[in-house]
Amino acid sequence: MKNFQFLSGDINWQTYGAKWYKQVDDTTYHIIELINMWDATGEEDQDKYAIELVEIDLSNYFEKQLDEAISCCGWSDEQIDNMTPLMLLESCHDYGYGAPMGFWSGNNYSKLLKSAKDESNRLSDNDYHENRMNRSVNQLGSTACEYSQGDFTSAMIRGIANGNMDAKIIGKIHGLKSDDIKEIESDESLKNFNLYC
């Protein structure tokens, strides 16, 4: 794992999985996670390995978000008082923060890891990185940038404004009334709505 360092996992990572990280700048990291799906699910009628590349910029999160990530990981008070950037990085990743930058599955972990490392290297190109951060990464239409910040509201509002039925259902689940949905649908400016990115 050239340019990547071990973050967490088992010494027998081919069987039980692991994570590696690369520091991109002062606050931004790439994490590659390998999961042995046969071990994780007990199902062998699927690709054996799943590899995910995630980008986490620790400067994107508010103190409350970081506290939530830390508290979910079961750190002791003493560990929290001595929290290192890598402990914080691991907490954020475990909590689900981060921009999904690539996913690969197959039975040859060496090829999959190489694909993830190659993608990490490609992301050093600013135009390519911007393109990847602005692409849709879920059914709702959240961009990777929005997803990394836990912002599903932007995609929901854009979806409603563009007549997406799934977005309307999510809006209802989040407490929007029919009048709220109609108001969003009638506002042309909300078709490109974005809170943060």
H or E stretch covering 28: strand 28-36
Res. 1: pLDDT tops 80: no
Quote the CA–CA distance of 139 and 166 in Å, as a whole number.
Answer: 8
The CA–CA distances, whole Å, from 167 to 100, 120, 133 equal: 21, 31, 21
pLDDT band at 74 (very low <50, low <70, confident <90, very high): confident
Map out the domains of the chain as residue ranges. 5-133, 137-197
Q: What local confidence, expressed as pLDDT, does residue 68 receive?
A: 86
The C-alpha atoms of residue 85 and residue 5 are separated, in whole angstroms, by 14
pLDDT in tens, 119-164: 999 999 999 999 999 999 999 999 999 999 888 999 999 999 999 9
Start-to-end Cα distance in the chain: 31
CB atoms within 10 A of CB 36: 19
Structure pTM? 0.87
DSSP conformation letters of 101-169: EEEEEES-HHHHHHHHHHHHHHTTSHHHHHHHHTSB-STT--BHHHHHTT--HHHHHHHHHTT-HHHHH
How far apart CA 90 and CA 97 sit, in angstroms, is: 10
Q: What are phi and psi of 35, to 5 degrees?
A: -120, 125
| Mean pLDDT, rounded, of the chain | 93
pLDDT of residue 12: 94
